[in-house]
Structure formats: C-alpha cells, structure tokens
Amino acid sequence: MKTVLDCLRFGEGLLAPSPDAKTDARLLAEAFLGSVFALNLRDEPGEEEKGRYLAALGRRRAGEPAQYILKKAWFMGLALYVDERVLIPRQDSELLCETALRLAAERGYKSALDLCTGSGAIALALASRSRLELSAADLSAGALEVAARNAARLGLPLALYQGDLFGAVKDRRFDLIACNPPYLSRSDLAALQKEVRKEPLLALDGGRDGLDFYRRLAKGAGEHLHPGGALLMEVGLGQADAVRALFVQQTETLRDLNGIQRVVCAHY
C-alpha cells in the first residue's frame, strides 16, 4: 500500500463481504490516515498512520463495531462519544424521540425522564430540540459516565441518576417518560451477529421472552408520571401487541418509515 487510495482498496477487500465494507474502510481511513486523507487520494500516508489504519481494520474484521473503534456515533444530528460500556445509538430510536418532541409540544410538557439512557442519546436529543427539563437514569455506572461526558461535550443540561429502573428516581414524577429498554429474548440473544455481541449484555437482555422490562414499566410508570403524562417505549420486531396487552391505560402504536411497529405509547 503506497497511496491513500491503495489503503482504501485494501481495507474494502479486507472487510468484504460485509455490506458495510466500503463505508467502514472510508470511515477508518478518515480517522486513522489523518489529514492526508482530506488532501488527495494519491497522497502517501506515513508508516505510523498506515499502521494505525491496519490495526483498526483488524479490529473491525474481528467483529468490533466501527463506532467503538472510532469512539463516535451519530444520533439525531448529534455526534456522541460511545464505547463498550453503552449500546450504540441506532436510527430505530429516532421515532421515539420524534414522538416525544411532538407530545411535549402539543401538551406543554415541562419535564421528561429517559430510562435506560446508556450513552444519553435519547435524553440529549430531546434536550437539544426542546425546552424540556431532562433527567436520565441507568443501572450502569459506566453508562452514566458516558452520558455525562456527552452532556458536557454538547453543553446540554442533564440530571443523571443511577439505579434499577424506577428505583433510580425514587418518588420523582415527570410529564413524559421515554425508554428504550433491553428487549431481546434469550433466543434472540443466541442468534446475535458478532458485532452486536460486542455490545453490553445488560442493555440487550430482556429476559426469557424479551418482555421483562415492559412488565416492570407497566407496573411502575403510573407512580412516576403526572396526570396526563405519557410513557413512550421502543419495542422490538413483533412485540407491540404483547407490550400493549400489559397496560390497562389507553395505548397506541406508532410505525417507523418501514412500516414496523416501533413505539408503544401509554397515556396516563
């Protein structure tokens, strides 16, 4: 490999047949070949830069997600720091945020809680696009460290609480609660792609049938919502009806752009 273009072609070939081979090779090149990449594909990176790029390619080929290698993920227009302590934010969760923003605007909500916050992606997306007073909670101390780092980097106010689901916020009440809980069943976990296996099990394991956290949400949310409040939950593929059946409150399901039932909203 002599030029930047040579490095890119080598990276694409090494990561094939992954459908993301070209994208990942380019992202890693931009990060590890340095400013040379911005100049010309025919420029020649130094040996140190090429060594870092090859090491990153090796990690990606071994199944480590590109976001962990780069320590960065994008969500709702925000560049977030991520590492192995948190789930990688995904586009699937954007519907949850968009619905929360709509309800907050329509109903004049003032406060919101993001449960199972992980990197803080959902809470920080809401904070960046509304005047909601945002709180976020997680059982993992490591995840809260990542969320705090992201809040500081973005200059967004975020109150953080550690604990097991509602135990983190004790007797506090909110107008809106948003939650992307662990929702994979044990059979789902057994069939995970190697990249997803690198993400924290704590953020993935939803119990035998994937519904453990939804049962707890249905049982406890009413004690932490103001009258007229709403609970928004991201759900896995095919889970929406089973989740709605857990609630005595009025519920509705929202579909994403692919027509998948992605969010369940319970009205209190």
**Secondary structure of 199-218 as H, E, C letters:** CCHHHCECCCCCCHHHHHHH
Tokens of 101: 């923003």
Query: Which among 18, 42, 62 is the end of a domain?
Result: 62
30 and 147 inside one domain = no
Do you know the residue count of the chain? Answer: 268
Helix axes 94-107, 121-129, angle to 10 degrees: 40
145 and 234 inside one domain = yes
Contact 123, 179 (CB under 8 A): no
Comparing CA positions, the residue from 8, 86, 83, 22 lying closest to residue 53 is 8
Share of the chain above pLDDT 70, in %: 97
39 and 158 inside one domain = no
**Whole-number Å distance between alpha carbons of 183 and 240:** 11
The predicted structure's pLDDT at residue 58 = 95
53 and 167 inside one domain = no
142 and 167 inside one domain = yes
**Whole-number Å distance between alpha carbons of 268 and 258:** 28
Contact 266, 221 (CB under 8 A): yes
46 and 159 inside one domain = no
**165 has pLDDT over 80:** yes
Residues 6+ apart with CB under 8 A from 39: none
Comparing CA positions, the residue from 178, 185, 189 lying closest to residue 217 is 178
191 and 226 inside one domain = yes
The answer to whether position 68 is within a domain reads no
Residue-wise pLDDT for 12-45, tens only, equals: 999 999 888 999 998 999 888 875 555 567 778 8
**Could you list the residue range(s) of the whole structural domain that residue 224 is in?**
73-267
**254 has pLDDT over 90:** yes
Q: What DSSP element (H or E) covers 250?
A: strand 250-255
Contact 203, 155 (CB under 8 A): no
Residues 6+ apart with CB under 8 A from 117: 123, 136, 137, 138, 143, 144, 147, 160
The domain total for the chain is: 2
The predicted structure's pLDDT at residue 38 = 55
| In the block, residue with structure tokens 């990690």 | 59
Q: In this structure, what CATH number is given to the domain that contains residue 86?
A: 3.40.50.150
126 and 47 inside one domain = no
Residue-wise pLDDT for 95-107, tens only, equals: 999 999 999 999 9
121 and 16 inside one domain = no
**Whole-number Å distance between alpha carbons of 169 and 78:** 26
The answer to whether position 155 is within a domain reads yes
